[in-house]
Amino acid sequence: MMHFIGHTRNGAAVRVDLVHSNAAKNISRQPRLLTLASEALREITAKKSGQIIEHNMGRTIGYDFVVDATSALTIFYAKPIKDTVYTRFIKHAKPSSSSCLTIHLTRDGKSNDYLLNDVWIGQSTPPRPGDTDETNASKDYWANHALVFDNQPIQSQSITKDCPY
């Protein structure tokens, strides 16, 4: 289900698949991400496919759930529902307030418009280890950071305290 979000500063239309995209998962948990993305797009110039843009909204817009993680805190690994990659979670930590919205855009080859692949509150992070888009920075970054566990739906049989990567 494609949904029109808005236009970029340079006039490119942006749409999102509200069923099959990574953005859909985040939008289902935080519907106001659509409004924030629409607002941010008006100030963004889209130049290429595969852009990951951090946009400062100029005000606090929510919480960044990726935090620095130390060994003193309770860390565990699990696969979120409908995901094949492990996520590093942290219990008993608080997310930090953020004014940053991160947007991942790719160009639609058919229409030359853009697709919103993902959107979240907080700064850009490397893909998780094991992800198809994993980078050289992924393992180092996720060895020192974790996602605050806030009752996200996870595959209970995948829970482990041992690092799977």
92-132 pLDDT per residue, tens: 899 999 999 999 999 987 777 899 999 999 999 999 999 98
Number of domains composing the chain:
1
- CA–CA distance from 95 to each of 98, 131, 148 (Å)? 9, 24, 7
Distance from C-alpha of 126 to C-alpha of 128, rounded to nearest angstrom: 6
Q: What would the pLDDT profile of 15-42 be if each residue is shown by its tens digit?
A: 999 999 989 989 998 999 999 999 999 9
Instruction: Evaluate whether residue 20 is within a structural domain.
Output: yes
Q: Of 116, 123, 119, nearest to 99 (Cα)?
A: 123
Distance, C-alpha 129 to centroid of its chain = 15
Q: What is the mean pLDDT of residues 156-161?
A: 96
Long-range contacts of 17-23 (CB under 8 A, 24+ apart): 17/115, 21/115, 21/116, 21/117, 21/118, 22/104, 22/117, 22/118, 23/104, 23/116, 23/117, 23/118, 23/119
Closest by CA to 10, choosing from 36, 43, 38, 37, is 43
165 lies in some domain: no
Q: How far apart are CA 53 and CA 115, in angstroms?
A: 13
Q: Flag whether 147 is in a domain.
A: yes
* Paired tokens of 15: 């749409």
- The residue among 62, 138, 156 whose CA lies nearest residue 102 is 62
Does 163 reside within a domain? no
Residue 72, pLDDT score: 66
Q: Is 146 in contact with 61 (CB distance < 8 Å)?
A: no
The pTM (predicted TM-score) of the whole model is 0.88
65-85 average pLDDT score: 89
Alpha-carbon distance 78 to 60, whole Å?
A: 30
Q: Does a structural domain hold residue 30?
A: yes
Q: Does 13 fall in a domain?
A: yes
Give the range of the structural domain holding residue 94, as residue numbers without chain letter.
2-158
For the stretch 128-157, pLDDT in tens is: 999 988 999 999 999 999 999 998 899 999
**Radius of gyration from C-alpha coordinates of the chain:** 16
